[in-house]
Structure 1
Amino acid sequence: MLNASETVLMEKVDYSDQTNELRLKNQRSDFLGEVKDLRSVAKERHVLFVQEVKKVREDVNLKIQELHEEMNKEILSIQHDYVSLHQKVDIICDAVTKFVKMSDEAVERVERDIHKTSFVSLDHS
């Protein structure tokens, strides 16, 4: 009777092992199927992500180019303004120099006239 119980028990253990193996095979198959599906979804999303990154990169490069052109225009404008201002300062400096020279000449004439009149008044006295 012990042998018969052992045999029945061994058969039940073998049956349990077989069902566990089948269940594990099915779970493995299901898991591999899910992994495969997720992998294909990840690939699709990666492709979309790369496309978006390329679009953003193109937009950024375009904005950088536009800013560079705008900065170049501003630099040219500033350089033009600098040259124009420098020319005006040169004109003002020339005018001030001429004015000072004329003023010095006028002062010299007045001083000569004063000097002459003081000699003349000394001679008449």
Structure 2
Amino acid sequence: MKLQPDQFDVQAITGYGPGWVGINTDRITHSVVVGSRGERIDWGAAAFDDLGPDHFARLAELQPEVVIFGSGSRIRFPRPAWLAPLVARGIGLETMDTAAACRTYNILAQEGRHVAAALLLEADG
């Protein structure tokens, strides 16, 4: 699906599909963290089972207001222990499938919120 905001005041997710996401003019095919302040970080997880506490600690270091976790093609919730770094800093986390996370990130970023989207992009879609 292609997403086109009216204007690009912040880094935007411009499209997505099985195993990929478009960020501005780039097509990304690996799990990635996208931030409304220009952050773009390889998240280093090819599948949900690859995730662990260190992945969420990296999100906390960005100090966003909220993290949108796109858990792949279906909703899967991170283990509570993984979220300790976010909780310690008062950072909220919302979990949804990756397609919904892309749409939600764009809305919050365009509103001027400091948001990060952690998008799990699995090779099998």
Q: TM-score, normalised by structure 2?
A: 0.13
- Considering fraction of residues, name the structure with more strand: 2
- Considering fraction of residues, name the structure with more helix: 1
